[in-house]
Amino acid sequence: MGIERPDNDSTFETFSSDNFHAICDKLGDMDSDLAAIIREHGYPPMWTRPNTYETLVHIILEQQVSLASALAALKKLQEKTLELTPENILKLSDEALKSCYVSRQKTIYLRNLALALAEKRLDLDVLESLPSDAVRSQLTALKGIGNWTTDIYLMFVLQRADIFPIGDLAAVNALKRVKKLPKETPRENLPDIAVTWKPYRTVATMILWHHYLSSPFRS
């Protein structure tokens, strides 16, 4: 399925619209709680994003804020630049970025990423052919890109099938609720549960997000 993975790296395996529902069904066979979510809410959306600087900007903007706030900032940047490229971001002043709701810290992150791409120290096309650990190593070497940002990039952009984003609050809270775990359950304990969905932890996470977004009682 997907790209042939090297060295038995299951996180190199990908999913696509051709097999997404089949993987959901397989996860339902593996886990009755996930099956219950699919029965109640249907299949989750297959969230994807293009492999562009703009996508990474969007993910950085989503760090520790609501999705609506991040989207508002992204739209302002799109209006300001007309084309959200590294070169155009580097032309913007601090005040211009601030007017787009970009914090001082995230201004540094967006510029650092833009410079890495403009100076060819990072090539997004090359990342598509690398194992997930190598992608993570390259991205987290940049200021402002940590494991959560990398996880979302691997899941949404490269469509790697076996990522569980332990730093994602919605996924963590949905997992606790679905598995009827106490709210105080340490986050460090959750990968032991998620590993049972291997090698499809990304798709399992999308089912959890679907549950979180569809439920009237978000935790």
Task: Give pTM, 2 decimals.
Answer: 0.92
DSSP secondary structure letter of residue 14: B
- pLDDT of residue 157 exceeding 70, the answer is yes
- Which class in CATH covers the domain with range 6-46+164-214? mainly alpha
Average pLDDT over residues 103-132: 97
- pLDDT of residue 25 exceeding 50, the answer is yes
Residue 179: what residue type?
Answer: K
Retrieve residue 76's tokens.
């302002």
Q: 216 vs 38, 185, 219, CA distance in Å?
A: 16, 22, 10
Question: What's domain 53-157's architecture?
Answer: Orthogonal Bundle (1.10)
- Listed in order, the ranges of the chain carrying CATH 1.10.1670.40 are 6-46+164-214
CA 25/CA 19 separation, integer angstroms: 10
The DSSP line for 152-172 is HIIIIIS-BSS---TT-HHHH
Q: 44 vs 82, 120, 194, 204, CA distance in Å?
A: 32, 36, 18, 10
- Listed in order, the ranges of the chain carrying CATH 1.10.340.30 are 53-157
Alpha helices in 42-189 (DSSP H): 53-61, 67-81, 86-91, 94-99, 104-118, 124-127, 132-140, 147-152, 169-178
Q: What is the pLDDT of residue 2?
A: 36
Average pLDDT over residues 1-27: 74
Q: What is the pLDDT of residue 216?
A: 67
Average pLDDT over residues 22-49: 97
- pLDDT of residue 3 exceeding 80, the answer is no
Q: What contacts 177, CB < 8 A, 6 or more positions away?
A: 211, 215, 219
Q: What is the pLDDT of residues 201-217, one digit of tens each?
A: 999 999 999 999 998 65
- Of 155, 136, 144, 51, the C-alpha closest to 103 is 144
- pLDDT of residue 75 exceeding 60, the answer is yes
| pLDDT band per the 50, 70, 90 thresholds, residue 6 | very low
CA 3/CA 160 separation, integer angstroms: 9
